[in-house]
Amino acid sequence: MTGMAAVQITPVDPADREALLAWNALLRDGFNAGREAAWWASEESVLARYGDPRPGRTSVLLVAHLEGTPVGAAGAEADPGDPAEVEISVLPEHRRRGVGRALAAAVREALAGHAEIVQAETYSEAGVGFALAQGMRLGNQELRLLREMPLDREAMAGAASSVPGVEIRTWHGACPEELVEDWARLTTQMDADVPMGDLTRPASRGEVEELRRDEQRMDDQGWTLVRGLALLEGAAVGYTEIFVSRHDPEILTQDDTLVDRAHRGRGIGRALKLANLENLRAVPEAAQARWIQTYTALGNAPMLALNRSLGFRETDVLSILEGELAGA
Ligand SMILES: CC(C)(COP(=O)(O)OP(=O)(O)OC[C@H]1O[C@@H](n2cnc3c(N)ncnc32)[C@H](O)[C@@H]1OP(=O)(O)O)[C@@H](O)C(=O)NCCC(=O)NCCS
């Protein structure tokens, strides 16, 4: 270990466009160093996010300099009552000199009074080692799986599946009005059901009004929501969702998929995912995608098997850590 260098930490004003974009690029470069097909928020979506923040949210944006050179960055967001989400990254050539530690201390100071619990995500051993040294605990791990795009039409046609009595409805963007109550109910159930290891669960989404606001915010940030809902004899029993960034469609994200407990093991999840991949074809930006990524909890064997059968392969492991803001 080298001696402690003089790290200088300065806040970034999210209203300063240039500074905000430089901060986002620095955070990305440190965080994604060495990773394959790693996604990061586009400039447009970052500008939109900080231009119209969630009401009540506390945002912390910091840059670390060593001898005048930017070497690391941190970001944190805290919604009242929820764990704060913290991101810290240091450029590879400047690691193990105390920059990360100094950023973490500054984040804790800035979040004081705005959160009690902090969570952080990492894809590296360095990140896990660092977070443990910060007094955090490993809360959950998920595999990130990647599949090359575009989808091969023939392979997909061969895989097409239908389940007796089940109708899959698909669309893009906001939920059709007649399905929004079902969507709200199922996403609330997802919040309760999704495996989260030892992590503190965030407050549930659920309210239709809140859901509509989130849809609007996602749209403002350039996201096209590609969605499917499964109806069994008219009752909603599952859903799935893919995010496509209009600004940066290179990597698509297959987000939540939920099938109601009572109806699992009948192929509804598979039928939903396939129908929604088919639905993706009608989204013009998706034609530019090179990858689709998805996350599955390490122990979720049925979902891993389903994803593998759809051509996804395991790429890296996301570790989510949690600790008290007061720290070690
Ligand atoms: C994690 C990261 C921010 C650490 O930055 P850093 O400036 O190298 O960290 P520091 O020098 O302040 O390290 C502080 C302590 O963390 C622990 N630590 C840091 N890197 C580690 C590693 N590679 N393996 C094990 N422990 C590590 C050590 O206890 C270290 O103290 P020491 O150097 O006295 O032993 C950096 O590796 C990084 O940007 N990684 C990719 C992004 C990421 O995963 N961020 C999420 C962090 S939760």
Whether ligand 1 lies within 6 angstroms of the CB of 99 is answered as: yes
Q: Indicate the residue among 115, 136, 164 that finishes a domain.
A: 115
State the CATH number of the domain containing residue 242: 3.40.630.30
Whether ligand 1 lies within 6 angstroms of the CB of 95 is answered as: yes
Whether ligand 1 lies within 6 angstroms of the CB of 92 is answered as: no
Q: Residue 139 domain-assigned?
A: no
Contact 268, 223 (CB under 8 A): no
Distance 100 CA to ligand 1 centre (A): 6
Whether ligand 1 lies within 6 angstroms of the CB of 127 is answered as: yes
Residues 100 and 176 in one domain: no
Whether ligand 1 lies within 6 angstroms of the CB of 75 is answered as: no
Whether ligand 1 lies within 6 angstroms of the CB of 31 is answered as: yes
Cα-atom radius of gyration of the chain, to the nearest Å?
A: 21
Q: Residue 236 domain-assigned?
A: yes
Whether ligand 1 lies within 6 angstroms of the CB of 97 is answered as: yes
| 94-99 average pLDDT score | 98
Distance 4 CA to ligand 1 centre (A): 13
Residues 58 and 199 in one domain: no
Whether pLDDT at 31 is above 90: yes
Whether ligand 1 lies within 6 angstroms of the CB of 89 is answered as: yes
pLDDT tens per residue, range 131-179 = 999 999 999 999 999 999 988 776 666 566 789 999 999 999 999 999 9
Distance 18 CA to ligand 1 centre (A): 28
Q: Which of 145, 184, 136, 165 is nearest to 231 (CA)?
A: 165
Whether ligand 1 lies within 6 angstroms of the CB of 239 is answered as: no
Domains contained in the chain, number: 2
Residues 30 and 172 in one domain: no
Q: Angle at the Cα of 256 (from 254 to 262), degrees rounded to 5?
A: 135
Q: For ligand 1, pick from 1, 2, 86, 96 the residue to mutate: most ligand atoms within 8 Å of CB.
A: 96
Contacts of 8 (CB under 8 A, 6+ apart): 64, 65, 66
Residues 201 and 109 in one domain: no
pLDDT of residue 58: 97
Q: Residue 34 domain-assigned?
A: yes
Q: Residue 134 domain-assigned?
A: no
pLDDT of residue 118: 98
Q: Residue 1 domain-assigned?
A: no
Collapsed DSSP state (helix, strand, coil) of residue 29: helix
Q: Residue 123 domain-assigned?
A: no
Contacts of 190 (CB under 8 A, 6+ apart): 239, 256, 258
Residues 89 and 177 in one domain: no
Residue spans of beta strands (DSSP E) within the chain: 7-11, 58-66, 69-78, 84-90, 117-122, 137-148, 166-172, 223-232, 235-245, 251-259, 291-297, 313-324
Look at ligand 1, atom 28, and give the residue with the nearest C-alpha.
Answer: 130
Contacts of 172 (CB under 8 A, 6+ apart): 224, 225, 226, 227, 279, 282, 283
Beta bridge partners of 257: 240
pLDDT tens per residue, range 228-266 = 999 999 999 999 999 999 999 999 999 999 999 999 999
Beta bridge partners of 258: 239
Whole-angstrom CA distances from 201 to 82, 83, 112, 113, 210 are 8, 8, 20, 20, 18
Residues 152 and 277 in one domain: yes
Backbone φ and ψ of 39, nearest 5°? -80, 150
Residues 233 and 184 in one domain: yes
Q: Which of 247, 71, 276, 292 is nearest to 268 (CA)?
A: 276
- Rounded-to-integer distance, Cα 311 and Cα 295, Å: 14
Whole-angstrom CA distances from 21 to 14, 57, 63, 64, 122 are 9, 20, 12, 15, 21
Residues 157 and 280 in one domain: yes
pLDDT of residue 4: 59
Residues 68 and 157 in one domain: no
Whether pLDDT at 2 is above 60: no
Residues 44 and 163 in one domain: no
Contacts of 31 (CB under 8 A, 6+ apart): 38, 40, 87, 89
Distance 53 CA to ligand 1 centre (A): 30
One-letter identity of residue 96: R
Distance 163 CA to ligand 1 centre (A): 49
- Structural domain harbouring 206: 145-315
Residues 159 and 276 in one domain: yes
Residues 230 and 154 in one domain: yes
Q: Residue 328 domain-assigned?
A: no
Answer whether 0.85 is exceeded by the pTM. Answer: yes
